[in-house]
Amino acid sequence: MQKKLLLTTIIIGLVGFADAFYLTVKHYSQSSIFCSVLNNGCDLVTSSRYSAFGGVPIALIGTIYYAFIVLLAALLFRQPSSQTVKLLLLVSSLGFLFSLWLLYLQIFVIKALCFYCIISAATSTLIFIISLIYSLKNNKNEHQTY
């Protein structure tokens, strides 16, 4: 069961990575984002003043976040470690909270939704939930072995 959770985390992390990487490429190439689902919301969101943090595009931060999540899950798949489990839970918690903040900005401040940003929010939420389940199962298994 735990290996399946990690594989699912890796797959979802790769989806998030591809999504964030696409937005990063579009940011640096300064080209328009294909967004037929939510009309012009993608361009409004990705060109807003909230699309970068300290001069670094949020999409690039997302790309690094998802790459790190995939790395942590792959490490756990190969060699379980309670420290890595804690790190995965911490990083996924921060990613989830950051996604909530970005979703708030889209809805209430920018007043536009970006399809790709919603995909990222969904993937980070799923990763957080799976990481929490994995952590709880790992914690339960550790206590049963003593």
Report the pLDDT value the prediction gives residue 41, as an integer from 0 to 100.
84
Spell out a b/e string for 88-99, using b for 16 or more CB atoms within 10 Å of the CB, else e.
bbebbbebbebb
Section 15-19 average pLDDT: 98
pLDDT > 90 fraction of the chain, expressed in percent and rounded? 81
Q: What angle do CA 50, 56, 62 make, to 5 degrees?
A: 80
Q: In the CATH scheme, what architecture does the domain 2-144 have?
A: Up-down Bundle (1.20)
Q: How many CB atoms lie within 10 A of CB 53?
A: 11
Report the pLDDT value the prediction gives residue 18, as an integer from 0 to 100.
98
- How is the chain split into domains, by residue range? 2-144
pLDDT higher than 90, residue 35: no
